[in-house]
Structure 1
Amino acid sequence: MSTDVRIRRAMANCSKGEATRMTLPPQVRELDLDALADVVGWRDPKAPDRAVLLVPADGEPVGIALRSSSNAVGSAAMCALCRTTHGPGGTALFSAARKGARGRGGDTVGTYVCADLACADHVRVEKATAALRPAPGLSVDERRAGLRERAAAFAAEVLG
C-alpha cells in the first residue's frame, strides 16, 4: 500500500472525503511509515489554514487534521508539543475536531504549536538562537521522546 493511501487511512478525525482532498507535500510522500519515529506535521499547501499532525503509534501512525487560527502569536511563546520557545509569529493556535459525533457537533481540542509544524526539527536544534530556543537542560533524545509523548497525549484527547 502506498504512503499516500496509508496516511489518508490514518486520518482519525476527519471524513474520508476530507482526507482524500488533503494535499500531501513531496517530503511527506517519501516517509517510511514503518520506521516513523518522530511526529511529522505540515500545512496543506493548497489550504494553509489546514494542517496535519502525524503521530507515531503502535503499528500505524495516527493522523490528526488541524485548523489554524488566522493569526500567529504576536509575542514570544512556547509550543505545547516540542516545548520550543519561539519569537513573535513562531507559534499559532491549532484546533482539532474531536473524533466522531462530538467533532461533527463542533467539539474541538486546541493547543499552541510551532506555526510551521516543524517540531521534530526544532527539538534537534543543539544551540538556541534568537528566534528558536529548545527546552534547556535536555538532550536531543530526551526532547524527541517528550515531543512524542505530548503529541500522543494530544491525539488521545482528540480521539477520546
Structure 2
Amino acid sequence: MTTDTRIRRALANCSKGEAARLALPPDVRDLDLDVLDDVVGFRDAKAPDRAVLLVPGADEPVAILLRAASNAVGATAMCALCRTTHSAGGTTLFTAARRGSRGRDGNTVGTYVCADLGCRHHVCVEKATAALRPAPGMTVDERRAGLRERAAAFVGEVVR
C-alpha cells in the first residue's frame, strides 16, 4: 500500500471524499510510515486553511484533519504541541472535528499550533532565534518526546 493511501486511511475524523481531496506534499509522500517516530504536520496546498496532523501510533499512524483559523495570533505565543514560542504570526488556532456523529454535529476540539505545522523541525532547534524559541532546559530528545505525547493526547481528544 502506498504512503498516500496509508495516510488517507489513517485520517480518523473526515469522510473518504475529504481524505481523497487532500493534496499531500512531496516530502510527506516520501515518509516511511513503518518507522515514523515524529509528529508530522502539513497544510493542504490546494486549500491552505486545511491541514493534517499525523501522529505515530502503536500499529499504524493516526491522522486528523484540521482547519486553520483565518488569522494567526498577532502577538508572541507558544505552540501547545511543541512548546516553541513564536513571534507574532507564528501560531494559529487549529480546530478538528470530532470523529463520528459528534463531529458531523459540529463538535470540535481546538488548540494553538505552529502556523507552519513545523513542530517536528522546531523541537530540533538548538539555539533560540528572534522568531523561534524552543522550550529551554530540555534536550532535543526530551522535546521530541513531549511533542509526541502532547500530539497523541490532542488526537485522542478528537477521536474519542
Using the aligned pairs only, state the percent identity.
76
Which residue matches 2:88? 88
Q: CA deviation at 1:59?
A: 1.2
SS at match of 2:49: strand
Which residue matches 1:149? 149
One-letter amino acid of the structure 2 residue matched with residue 136 of structure 1: P
Using the alignment, how far apart are the partners of 2:146 and 2:155 within structure 1? 14
One-letter amino acid of the structure 1 residue matched with residue 129 of structure 2: T
Using the alignment, how far apart are the partners of 1:31 and 1:58 within structure 2? 17
Which residue matches 1:38? 38
Using the alignment, how far apart are the partners of 1:6 and 1:38 within structure 2? 16
Deviations 1:41-70 (A, max 9, x none): 000000000000000011110011000000
- Which ranges of structure 1 fall in alignment gaps of 5 or more residues? none
Any residues of structure 2 matched to 1:116-135 within 5 Å, and which? 116-135=116-135
Which residue matches 1:100? 100
Any residues of structure 2 matched to 1:64-75 within 5 Å, and which? 64-75=64-75
One-letter amino acid of the structure 2 residue matched with residue 88 of structure 1: A
Q: How many residues align?
A: 160
SS at match of 1:94: strand
**Dislocated runs of 4+, deviation >4 Å:** none
Deviations 1:3-30 (A, max 9, x none): 0000000000000000000110000000
Using the alignment, how far apart are the partners of 1:97 and 1:52 within structure 2? 12
One-letter amino acid of the structure 2 residue matched with residue 119 of structure 1: C
**RMSD (CA atoms):** 0.3
TM-score (ref. length: structure 2): 1.00
Deviations 1:95-119 (A, max 9, x none): 0000000000000000000000000
One-letter amino acid of the structure 2 residue matched with residue 17 of structure 1: G
Using the alignment, how far apart are the partners of 1:102 and 1:56 within structure 2? 24
- Which ranges of structure 2 fall in alignment gaps of 5 or more residues? none
TM-score (ref. length: structure 1): 1.00
